[in-house]
Amino acid sequence: MTTAVQRPPLVRSSDRMIAGVCSGLADHLGWPVKYVRLGMILACFAGGAGLAFYAWLWTMVPTADESARRNARRPASPIAPAVSLPPATESVPQAPDAGPAPPVVGSPAVSGNPPVPNGAGASGPLAGAFGPPFGSPPAGTTTSGRTSAPAGAWAESGSPALQVSRFNFRRIQYGKEILLGAGLLLVAVILIARQFGVDVPLGTLIPAAAILGGAAIAWMQLDETRRAGLVDKTKADQAGGWVRLAAGLALVVAGVLVMVSGSGSWEQTWLALLASVAVLGGVALVLLPWGLKFWKDLETERAGRVRETERAEIAAHLHDSVLQTLALIQRRAGSEQDVVRLARAQERELRSWLFTDAAKDAGLLAERIKAVAAEVEDAHGQAVEVVTVGDADMTDRHEALVQAAREAMLNAARHGGGTVSVYMESTAGSTEVFIKDRGPGFDLESVPDDRLGVKESIIGRMKRHGGTATINSSRDGTEVRLALPSINAEGGDTRTGDVRPGDTRTGDVRSGDVRSGEVRNGEPRQ
Amino acid sequence: MSNTSQSGEPRSVRVVIVDDHTIFRSGLKADLDHRMDVVGEAGTVEEAIAVIAETRPEVVLLDVHLPGGLGGGGREVIAGSAALLGTTSFLALSVSDAAEDVVAVIRAGARGYVTKTISGAGISDAVIRVADGDAVFSPRLAGFVLDAFGTAPADIADDELDRLSARELEVMRLIARGYSYKEVAKELFISIKTVETHVSAVLRKLQLSSRHELTKWAAERRLL
């Protein structure tokens, strides 16, 4: 029945003599390559038709790779399965009018093919003779048996209306090729007619063709720019677009002029040109306000679309983050700590989304401290407020500082209760981090000696990297102070030696009401 | 201003709350303790200016982001109530800790800035402090100040407005570290009143300074 329906697509094969045209064609038609090549060579002697045909196929037929890429890029058409799924046998009889019988892949090649040889043949006087043999076999073999008759009839009739309806049904992919083929076919027919002595009114036909061609170019251009403008505003090939538009316009104008002025004496042409320019000017004057209004509307709509996109992005973000969190909060309404934790985490996320400066360097010390604070906040559900002044590049030593600060924050969140305040100040001389909580404080005397958290993770770590850690604990809370002098600053905290009497005292004396006084080897609270 | 809390006598600070979220306004009202009397509320810039002119409160709790007006939010309310700045103090409230929001409203004339996550007791204390003519600095605002003015203390040669004195720097640092005024006073062996004086001085500098670095800092954050 439909043995030859599953025809491989027409692509240039990689097994090639010159450009893979012949072997591709042979694959497609299911003929031996040898004969195709022989036929092609023979056709070359028929007024060079074979040469032209070969060149035409070379430029128009994609290689296998290109074809695969193109097909991959285009998502399956929604109607493709509906068209190709029903068994071809059943729909075959209705092929001429319904057209769904041949698979989508094969048939465009069929409809694309017939005009091709004819068009190519137009360059030589033997075009007419060359066309039909090549034109009909594909159509005939596409649908074998019963279907060959209707298919052949369609190919022979070549009725434009039928063609249009068919290729419309097939989603326009080959529309341009078909149009071009039809045009070239027409040219060929005219040339043949002249060959046989029929008087063709070229004086009328050429301007008409020019007008049609120009209009087609301009319209295609309009269509493309509109689509590009609506999809995205990158108008990379706008210059090319203008050139095409101008070319189309020039063609149309020239065509109209020649047609209107008849035989084409220059004087008449100029007069006609003047008249038409005057008319056009008048029309433009009248239509300009509408044009401007339309343009403005278009711009408004465009702006609206941009806003819409932005809104959609925000909505998506809110949905992914805030709404999810709110849903979670509702489900955990019983647990205050969970609710606080969720709210804080969401707040942080939203803040960073809204306010983070894209220009700000990520991966610097301040960001690291904030990230660590966020981690602690998530783990313990206690708010950790971070204030940073200045910033520094991350080094191994700074990483140690961050880790020590993290340990201190963990202790503060675990034992302090309430908000943990973190202050980081980085200057050329040194970097300091203060971690303060408002917990009940802890009595260092009562902390067992085997508790290594603070000793190792905070004090020891800071010392190993040339910094210091100081812990002050009182009834009103505990503050851990970490200081890391810059690598080139000579030993110790250069800043305390600065003009900062207050801070020096903070570090060392701190009598006040500090219960356990200055502790350099504190232990974590239990 | 004479209405200090040390006297112990019951007194009532007249407060206007300006915020466009009704829920937040009622929550804030519930948070303010007996020392405060909410005499008016507003939700937009125009409403706020009208209510403030009419009720003449001592303190206005002012949201930084407000609808209406020319889009200037809290800053615009302060500008619109400029004639009352002698008797009415503004305390800025914000969920945003973006520098441009905070510093802009401070430079417009607000006496302080706190985040909306502040506790009920915290906001009451802040209102009393502002009513007494003092400034209220959150740790974050102190951080902004240190960032803007730099952390090096002033030389004598410097213009007084352009740098913080060593003592002011200490106070700002401690506030940034999360110290309350009381703790700062204890830490530095000075009275709370002195701390308040220092903070007010810093606030004044923040409002008036045209220091080159401050300008640059503000420009970087698109404040000016």
Report the distance separating Cα A7 and Cα A361, nearest Å.
58
Report d(CA A317, CA A325) in Å as an integer.
Answer: 12
Using an 8 Å CB-CB cutoff, list chain A residues near B179: 436
Instruction: Take residue A230 and report the two structure tokens written for it.
Output: 């609506």
- More confidently predicted of A355 and B109: B109
* Residue among A389, A419, A501 whose CB faces B166 most closely: A501
- 3-class SS at A404? helix
For A317-338, what is each residue's pLDDT tens digit? 887 788 888 888 888 888 877 8
Looking at CA atoms only, how far is residue B50 from chain A in angstroms? 32
Distance from CA of A345 to the nearest CA of B (A): 14
Q: What pLDDT shows up at residue B117? A: 77
**Is there a contact between A423 and B140 if contact means CB atoms under 8 Å apart?**
no
Is residue A179 helix, strand or coil?
A: helix
Which residue among B169, B170, B177 places its CB closest to the CB of A423?
B177
> Which tokens hold the place of A340?
């606080």
Please identify which residue in the block is written with the tokens 């403008």: A229
Confirm or reject contact between B182 and chain A (CB < 8 A). Answer: no
Partner residue facing A389 (CB), from B151, B183, B186 = B151
Q: Are the beta carbons of B167 and A502 separated by less than 8 Å?
A: yes
Distances (CA, A) of A29 to A4, A10, A35, A158: 9, 9, 11, 21
**Cα–Cα distance between A16 and A23 in angstroms, integer?**
7
CB atoms A502 and B143 under 8 Å: no
Tokens for A470, please give them: 């100081």
Q: Do A423 and B143 touch (CB under 8 A)?
A: yes
DSSP 8-state class, residue A398: H
Strand order across the beta sheet in which A420-426 lies: A384-389, A420-426, A430-437, A477-485, A468-474, A518-519
CB of A368 within 8 A of CB of A400? no
Q: What are phi and psi of B219, to 5 degrees?
A: -65, -40
* Residue whose C-alpha is closest to residue B173's, from A71, A502, A197, A34: A502
| pLDDT tier, B189 (very low <50, low <70, confident <90, very high otherwise) | very high
Q: State the maximum Cα–Cα separation within chain B, in Å, rounded to a whole number.
A: 51
A332 in Cβ contact with A342 (< 8 Å): yes
Strands A518-519 and A468-474: antiparallel
Could you tell me which chain A residue has the CA closest to the CA of B98?
Answer: A355
Selected residue with higher pLDDT from B73 and B220: B73
Q: What is the pLDDT of residue A282?
A: 92
**What is the CATH class of B14-133?**
alpha beta
CA distances from B13 to B36, B54, B81 (A): 5, 16, 19
Residues in chain B with CB shorter than 8 Å from the CB of A513 are 186
A328, A345 contact by CB (below 8 A)? no
Specify the pTM: 0.52
Ranges of chain A with pLDDT below 70:
1-6, 69-174, 200, 220-240, 260-264, 355-363, 442-453, 488-526
A499 touches chain B (CB under 8 A): yes
Q: What DSSP string runs through A334-365? A: T-HHHHHHHHHHHHHHHHHHHH--TTSPTTSH
Nearest chain B alpha carbon to A502 = B170
Distance CA(A525)–CA(A138), nearest Å, equals 90
Specify whether the CB–CB gap between B135 and B192 falls below 8 A. no
Q: Which residues of chain A neighbour B156 with C-beta distances below 8 Å?
A: none
User: For position A107, what pLDDT does the model report?
Assistant: 39
Chain B interface includes A351 (CB < 8 A): yes
| Per-domain boundaries in chain B | 14-133, 136-224
Confidence (pLDDT) at B201:
87
Give the model's pLDDT for residue B212.
55
B195-223: per-residue pLDDT in tens? 988 888 888 888 877 655 566 666 665 55
Classify B136-224 by CATH class.
mainly alpha
Residue B133: what are its φ and ψ, rounded to 5°?
90, 10
Residue-level pLDDT at A415:
80
pLDDT score for A100: 41
Question: In angstroms, what is the C-alpha Rg of chain A?
Answer: 41
Is B78 at the interface with chain A, CB within 8 A?
no
CB A221 within 8 A of CB A245: yes
